[in-house]
Amino acid sequence: MTLDATARRANVKDSIKKWAVDNIETTTRPVTFDKWLSAPNIAGGVAHKWVSLKLGPIQRDYLGEIKLDIYCCVRNDPEGFKLAQLTDNVMAQLSDTDRTDGMKRIVFYQSAVAIADWVIKGALIVQDVKESGDLEAADATKYAILSCRLRTAMKI
């Protein structure tokens, strides 16, 4: 017996990756996955501003709960202003002011080898986001963590 597409971790992860690449990533703001504070290499060298996503635990249930930590990271930011701007930009992608509930819907796909073959299965709803304070690593990377709780219907 296999898991239903709505309860597969691979589909959750692929859907979040697609959303991040489509909505957060820019040439000056690359997105990485599971690298946390490690600066990604880009065409011009090492990035000075980036976003890293870490998928946490998933509670598979009829109304599933998914934890997602988004690390907003910057270097060469003595007063933390670039960090504040980056965090605000990412936070804007986690809310939807056009909806009465303000909750962002991330398209939830059943992924496949070819993106053209992906099938929409529903939505991952950003129910709430908790923002850390400004943090600093030993290498002077400043960062803030947006801890998200996503909910979705799952067939278990």
pLDDT tens readout for residues 28-62: 889 999 877 787 877 777 788 999 999 999 999 99
Per-residue pLDDT at 46: 79
Residue 27: pLDDT band (50, 70, 90) is confident
Quick: pLDDT tens for 114-127: 888 999 999 999 99
Per-residue pLDDT at 87: 97
**49-59 vs 31-33, strand pairing mode:** parallel
The chain-wide mean pLDDT, for the chain, equals 92
State whether the Cα torsion 36-38-42-44 is positive or negative.
Answer: positive
Please state, as a whole number, how many other Cβ atoms lie within 10 Å of the Cβ of residue 142.
Answer: 22
Per-residue pLDDT at 1: 63
DSSP 101-120: T-B-EEEEEE--SSGGG-EE
- Is pTM, for the whole model, over 0.85? yes
Per-residue pLDDT at 26: 86
Structural contact between residues 131 and 87, judged by C-beta atoms closer than 8 angstroms: yes
Per-residue pLDDT at 61: 94
Per-residue pLDDT at 109: 96
Return d(Cα 56, Cα 75) in angstroms, integer: 25
CATH of domain 5-153: 3.30.2000.20
Return d(Cα 20, Cα 86) in angstroms, integer: 14
pLDDT at 75 over 80: yes
Measured in Å, how far apart are the chain's first and last C-alpha atoms?
11
Per-residue pLDDT at 106: 97
Return d(Cα 64, Cα 57) in angstroms, integer: 11
